Structure 1
């Protein structure tokens, strides 16, 4: 049995290995290789033009990668464009397709799987209408309602659907097929009791380290909201530092930092391999995620697992993660500033959030999610075998 995983994620090759900046280390593919003999990853694939530092190795045994040309824009709607030709060639060589949505490559994989009569399943990880609406370009805003309708139809008709949220994405994009809820964020199994105890003893009156993770190229992660919020209360707070982890150019944000008088306290850390992210989070006192849209909030889950009090906007799957008292209206930097002040001044609340978030994060432990995912894809396997009889 050979499967194909289709998603728009950008991978890079140095000629020997395939690498990823922000997700998909090789261990990610193990969840699919438990059910298939090989896995082909249909994706965006580019030559690596910078140092390998900060990347995770994604390639490995039984996993191959196939590049799909740009599937967006007008060419996507042409019957013989290069993207659909490449996808047809890839899907013909496998027994089943897993399409992660929303993504143009994912939608294309479903279209071709149907055309060729191949079994397929989908994984729902976000809301495309919000993503395109907040993209910034006029063309993206026009495409948002089309993306929403495509997503609705694709998910509704999918025979198997895995959602990364408990309720939110299910409400937006219901399916008639077999479904399960299973986050794509798997937390490693390691003891954090010593860290939690140390966190509770920290004196935030001396210094506070705020942290945030997200691509600097994204216009919807809300970094500007966090900067404005901290600027509002910088005179009320003790010494503080705001650390940002994420890929992309920092020049645009540096200008915003200076405009808000926060030069010298905001640091851009670039990217780190996935296994080093937890070490980075261990030094963060309060984690901020002011996104304007979010599928689930992988970084929020990771911060909670490290005992960070987290403050998030009230969008997407984050509504299911953070304490409601720690959520603010998306884009409202005044409300964010008020919650930051409350948490930093109230040590009892700070400790309460440490305990609450760690306990909440346990539902994302690898062994818990592995069982749910294996059961779902075993049903998919059984269905495929039934179809072939």
Structure 2
């Protein structure tokens, strides 16, 4: 069976030797899951920049092109003028249409952009069974992105609701949050896309020992795109400035993720906390656990989330977690460790609370226990059963009626 996977957010990245990579959203373990179900073709947009091989290996996840077909389409969003170019749009439409025609089943992840919306339209036109993976909130993702995003947010929200409502099959990464906003008239499953290995109690023991040992400096961390405003790292930097004015300079903030982070560093310099902020850049997935283990608190201050993978990953390493009260985050974190969207004062208050070793120890225990719901062996069973039904049910309607 030929399976086409379409996602318009992530981009293929190439090195000078022709090696192919993705950002941290995808890994070999993720692709292996889809390959189990058939001959896999993955369609993403292509990043124009070509990386030195060593830099690419250090920053991104290598893709095994011998085990699946990789289609790289022009990036219509960078630069944005390409989206206004009829020839570029036509080229992308034709490539997507051909890929859909050649597929037996189509999986569309994160609907709401030109690539995914075109793929869904082609699925209906060519009567290809399709499944939608719902990973985030369209309104917030647009509204907190830019001025242009604010103008497009109402249309994107309505469009996303309509697309998911018509889908014959849908998988949500949350238990409730996304389902309430984007109900599906077809068959659906709530199942996180987090990939956690079986948890080890030794991780908790090491964490508690680290907390008990005590240290003057506490290391905070956030994983997320560095040059995307709605990821919210600036609010943590502003919280550090608030704490510094109160005489509290014990926090150090590490930022992992794709991008330069120049604006964040400039903000830290302006607020007088540059000595507390460190940009690490993108880390390969195999290095993430070591990074989480070095943190004292994981902070996720984003304006919008579905169900955040990095929060679950941090919890699997028994890291106390503080995060914004958005999307599926309240399904993960302790209520006492939630703060409002774009709320530096709220972040500062939560950090002051977590500075207490006893509180961190309690949150470490809670984190590991909450992460058990995301172990592979727990999720894979439900996910595989649902996808197998999608792949082999020839009675499925191409789309549900409006």
SS of match in other structure, 1:341: helix
Output one character per residue of 1:19-57: Cα deviation in whole Å (capped at 9) or x when no partner: 012221222112222221x11111112352343221111
Q: Which residue is 2:136 aligned to?
A: 126
Equivalent in the alignment of 1:28: 30
RMSD of equivalent CA atoms: 2.2
Asked if the contact 1:237–1:341 (Cα under 8 Å) also holds between the matched residues in 2, the reply is: no
Measured in 2, the distance between the counterparts of 1:333 and 1:79 equals 42
Note the alpha carbon deviations across 1:274-329, whole angstroms, 9 max, x for none.
11111111010011111111121111111111111111110011121111111011
Q: Taking structure 1 as reference, are residues 387 and 220 closer, same or farther at Cα in structure 2, changes over 3 Å only?
A: closer
Asked if 1:178 corresponds to 2:187, the answer is: yes
Alignment partners' CA distance in 2, 1:90 and 1:212:
37
1:151 matches 2:160? yes
| Structure 1 residues 125-156: Cα deviation after superposition (integer angstroms, max 9, x where no partner) | 0011111111113x222211111111111100
Name 1:86's counterpart in structure 2.
Answer: 95
What 5-or-longer segments of structure 2 have no aligned partner?
A: none
In structure 2, the residue matched to 1:40 is 41
Inter-partner Cα distance in structure 2 for 1:62 and 1:264? 45
**Residue 77 of structure 1: CA displacement?**
9.0
Q: State the distance in 1 between where 2:100 and 2:126 align.
A: 8
Distance in 2, matches of 1:319 and 1:249, equals: 30
Equivalent position SS for 1:252: helix
Matched length: 384
8 A Cα contact 1:41 1:63, kept in partner: yes
- Aligned match for 1:69, one of 52, 69, 74: 74
Question: Is 1:305 matched up with 2:316?
Answer: yes
Relative to structure 1, is the Cα distance of residues 344 and 119 closer, same or farther in structure 2, using a 3 angstrom cutoff?
same
Do structure 1's residue 380 and structure 2's residue 371 form an aligned pair?
Answer: no
Instruction: Map 1:235-250 onto structure 2 (within 5 A).
Output: 235-237=246-248, 239-250=250-261
| Change in CA separation of 1:45 and 1:368 when aligned onto 2, cut-off 3 Å | same
Distance 2:89 2:241 in 1: 52
Which residue, 205, 227, 235 being the options, matches 1:217? 227
Aligned equivalent of 2:51: 49
Residue in structure 1 matched with residue 203 of structure 2 by the alignment: 195
**Residue equivalent to 1:363:** 373
In structure 2, which of residues 275, 290, 297 is the aligned counterpart of residue 264 of structure 1? Answer: 275
Q: Normalization by structure 1: what TM-score?
A: 0.93
Deviation at 1:232, TM superposition (A): 1.3
Give yes or no for contact 2:169–2:390 (8 Å, CA) kept in 1.
yes
Q: Cα distance 1:386–1:200, how it changes in 2: closer, same or farther (>3 A)?
A: closer
